[in-house]
Amino acid sequence: MSSFVVYPAIDLSNGRVVRLRQGKADQETVYGEQPLEYGKRWAEAGANWLHIVNLDGAFGKVSRQNWAILREILHFTSMKNLSVQFGGGIRSLADVDKVMKMGVQRVMLSTLAIAQPQELEKALEKYSAQRIVVALDCKDEWVYSHGWRKESQYRVLDLARQLEKAGVRLILLTDIDRDGTQTGINISLLRKIKDAFDLDVILAGGVSSLEDIIKAKSNKAAGVVIGKALYEGSIPIEQALQLEE
């Protein structure tokens, strides 16, 4: 990746647009019953990418509503030259194949990358390192999986080292404690990764202001995911997108 990207987030739960606080299912705020309308809103503002998460899938649940909505959004984005980054419950190479065939441009992997590194390597070989992003969801610099509920055996830097060796080039770094809190981004962890590895890093968790976006960009992040700050009106989407330039 060569340019900085702002990713408006659309998190899906039971067919609704929601935001969770620190990834906790019991701390959910519902923002709407029509996710496609948010996709259209971000597209009209000039977004080039949408960041879509199937929260039910991440928590091991089946939600036909979320899949139906993803299809609607992909139909819309295919007509608008808009790209989709999608994840949540992608636990096998067959799952990766499924969403790629649906028209997703980039798939986010977390649990699969940690538990089945050989499947990650197969996905990278089949689709290229630019179409696979590995999500490093961390708390106190330990990586979590299974919808942020299970602590893994890896520290962030240790797993990042393994991922780089495996051919990963793009990671999504989320500070779980900051996610959905609008308390600011974890720049120190971003710097540690950028100093140690040749990885493009999309930063998520705690984005609260345009200053956070500027700070991420100036510290060589490849992009930021914005969720609650957009839905609460703390960051105007148009101004955020101007920082891509």
Among candidate residues 56, 97, 137, 195, the one labeled active-site is: 137
For CA atoms 128, 164, 227, 219, give the dihedral sign.
negative
DSSP 67-131: HHHHHHHHHHHHHHT-EEEEESS--SHHHHHHHHHHT-SEEEESHHHHH-HHHHHHHHHHH-TTS
How is the chain split among helix, strand and coil, in percent rounded to 5?
40, 30, 30
Q: Is 137 a catalytic residue?
A: yes
Residue with tokens 């040749």: 198
Known catalytic membership, residue 195: no
Pairing of strands 5-13, 49-54: parallel
Q: Which residues are part of the catalytic machinery? A: 11, 137
